[in-house]
Amino acid sequence: MAQPDSKKIFFENLSGAGKAIAVLTSGGDAQGMNAAVRAVVRMGLYVGAKVYFIHEGYQGMVDGGENIKEASWESVSSMLQVGGTVIGSARCKEFRSHEGRLKAANNLVKRGITNLCVIGGDGSLTGANLFREEWSGLLGELVEQGSIDADSVQKYSALHIVGMVGSIDNDFCGTDMTIGTDSALHRIIEVVDAIMTTAQSHQRTFVLEVMGRHCGYLALVSALACGADWVLIPEMPPEDGWEDKMCQKLSATRSRGTRLNIIIVAEGAIDRHGKPITSSIVKDLVVKCLGFDTRVTILGHVQRGGTPSAFDRILASRMGVEAVLALLETTANTPACVVSLCGNQSVRLPLMECVQMTQEVQKAMDEKRFEEAVKLRGRSFVNNLKTYKLLAHRKPESELPISNFNVAVLNVGAPAAGMNAAVRSAVRVGISEGHKMFAVSDGFEGFYKGQIKEIKWADVGGWTGQGGSLLGTKRTLPAKHVDKIAEQMRMHNINALLVIGGFEALLSLLELLTARGKYDEFCVPMVMVPATVSNNVPGSDLSIGADTALNAITTTCDRIKQSASGTKRRVFIIETMGGYCGYLATVGGLAAGADAAYIYEEPFDIRDLQANVEHLTEKMKTSIQRGLVLRNENSNENYTTDFIYQLYTEEGKGVFDCRKNVLGHMQQGGAPSPFDRNFGTKISAKAMQWISKKLVETFRHGRVFANTEDSCCLLGMRRRALVFQPVVQLKDDTDFVHRIPKEQWWLKLRPLMKILAKYKTSYDVSDSGQLEHVVRNRPKELDASVAM
């Protein structure tokens, strides 16, 4: 396959030869830990280091013996899709004592291990840092005891630590997402979606208790993702008198015709005086005050279990590789660091800075400084809380600003899961800002036909969990009907447009921009929010719907691979969607543990195919039983899915047999993932706030007139920030023939996928995370907050 640009910096000079790396999981388990372990082992072996498992966390390190085993490539096969941690985790009292750490140091030195990769929560990482600080003293004691010789002290003088945060609570400051959080949200949302159907049938109120003893992230984000009526979290206890306010809200919701209520309670929820608010207290309150039929569901350890989501597998794989790179680059003076996620970027942060800020949150909560506790949780948490309050609690008509502006919202292009969450968010934010909101059915086709009607707050209730597009969407572009669309804009006095869609939405805005010269009706603020499973919109690293499609691909690949367990060796050829964009094939391949992924952006020929077959044949002979090959639907017009299937079948004779699957439109269907619900909700809210600002700026002499480039924008995620970009400026970044951006960030993940599949390749580390410092209050322009 095509090699990356040789001018970039690669890690060939970062050799792991002679180094020993040990990986352990500690504290509570979290889905995705196994993906992180797998990445550390395979990347460590790839750079020439010895890699060891430490079973049962710190307890295994203290006990030594069979608990510390050398890892091989094959030992981490088939663990990517497994929940929990296969190397075990245990809370260890002995490691908290000096004697316990002395035993642990002896066990590591005997095996020459001076590099530790710790996957756990803040307690586990704090313990690792203490161990590092005591290391030289512990070695001195071991020499005095005669357990090790003086040469060992010289040879193993420094212990290097890199941490990855594995915690479903997402309670660690410095990272947008911890390993396991997204999977836990999947479990919660699956339960909420199921409960909603039964609650609606019986007109019931459900109180759901989710995990989060000291952190309300799961409760808050799941409330945002399902449109819950009320949420109770420890960081922001409700004001005194909350009981009456909550009951009034539930009663008002029912009076508008809603048949159910959902209340989400974090297990650590408290009131302003520190008194616990339990799910049973909330239930009794609702029954007593309103007489509603109310049930309690406590999710418990269901949230920790199950298969990791695509997001967690990719996050853990990226972090695992980054952790090994950090260990290779570390020196005796490098502080222990934690590999974190900021927006869409891997970053390295000093471990103790993160731990101290995490502890400051708890201190602020203990001292009832709740506003400060929320800020310390980070930009993502603050943004989630603001958005939830904006969308869940409707202001009385008398309190709404009067703008006299009409804003239209429509979907364009193919349907994508999360579109409805984006529409709901836009409608409710627009109404909160005082606008009159109009919904356009069936995209621009419905627009020119006059399928436009006002949409109210209650009309979008329950939309967040719905797949597809409830407004209806078409691929029709506006250019042919621009006169009729202008007439409809005039008739309904539309002052701004919010377009939610894929590549067709971008083309539509470019056509409307051109039409401004002829029709003043299009001289209004226009903004596009990217929504397409293909993730092929220039100007944005991610699109609404892509995460749901990735989860569909990953889940299906897991099942397909499982179908071959216990049979003879088998290779599966899977075709994914995406047009000419290879995002789904590449990132889906990384999440599913594929051996190869063929895409249009990385040209391949028959020699590459032959090399891949030979590589897979070799692996099949020695270790693995199942192979997985993904192909993007338009990767090559001649090397079709059938051709690749026949080639592998012929060349693999006597070693493995082949099966093929075309996943098709199942990638577009289904309920949106928690990520897509929240990404759609937050990015759409931000787009509506931009529209409100532009409407005020461009209102002159009794009318809105906006004809500058920056009044027609795409709102996209670029690296760490959500950025408004004039669509005309995106022209140079776009391959219009193949409907893809000219530069795509995820292509840097392809070498990672190949390395984890045992290919020799070059890995670009020019974009690798450099050690930064924890920033308490990031500037607003960096407020991406997209990783939920």
Active site residues: 169
Q: Is 341 exposed, middle or buried (0-12, 13-18, 19+ CB in 10 A)?
A: buried
Phi first, then psi: give them for residue 464, nearest 5 degrees: -60, -35
> Crossing angle for the helix pair 310-329 and 583-592, nearest 10 degrees?
80
Task: Return d(Cα 391, Cα 430) in angstroms, integer.
Answer: 10
Number of H helices, E strands in the chain: 23, 27
Residue 544 is classified by DSSP as B
Task: Return d(Cα 68, Cα 496) in angstroms, integer.
Answer: 63
Question: Other CB atoms closer than 10 Å to residue 659's CB: what's the count?
Answer: 15
Q: Contact at 8 Å (CB) between 168 and 211?
A: yes
| The dihedral formed by the CA atoms of 145, 146, 151 and 156, expressed in degrees to the nearest 10 | -50
Q: Is 171 exposed, middle or buried (0-12, 13-18, 19+ CB in 10 A)?
A: buried
Q: Is 785 exposed, middle or buried (0-12, 13-18, 19+ CB in 10 A)?
A: buried
Nearest to 513 by CA among 503, 525, 502: 525
Residue 132 three-state SS: helix
Q: Contact at 8 Å (CB) between 590 and 749?
A: yes
196, containing H or E segment: helix 181-202
Task: Return d(Cα 719, Cα 385) in angstroms, integer.
Answer: 23
Nearest to 249 by CA among 273, 218, 282: 282
Residue 437 three-state SS: strand
What's the length of the chain? 788
| Residue whose structure tokens are 């809370």 | 91
Q: Is 152 exposed, middle or buried (0-12, 13-18, 19+ CB in 10 A)?
A: middle
Residue 658 three-state SS: strand
289 Cβ contact list (under 8 Å, min separation 6): 243, 244, 247
Q: In 623-748, where does DSSP find H-type helix?
A: 641-651, 674-698
Q: Contact at 8 Å (CB) between 727 and 528?
A: yes
Residue 178 is classified by DSSP as -
Residue 24 three-state SS: strand
Task: Return d(Cα 686, Cα 429) in angstroms, integer.
Answer: 9
Nearest to 171 by CA among 249, 234, 106: 234
Q: Provide the terminal-to-terminal Cα distance of the chain, rounded to the nearest Å.
A: 35
Residue 771 three-state SS: strand
Strands (E), 422-569: 436-440, 452-454, 473-474, 496-501, 526-530
What are the structure tokens assigned to 499, written together? 């377009």
For every residue of 215-241, DSSP letters joined together read: --HHHHHHHHHHT-SEEE-SSSPPPTT
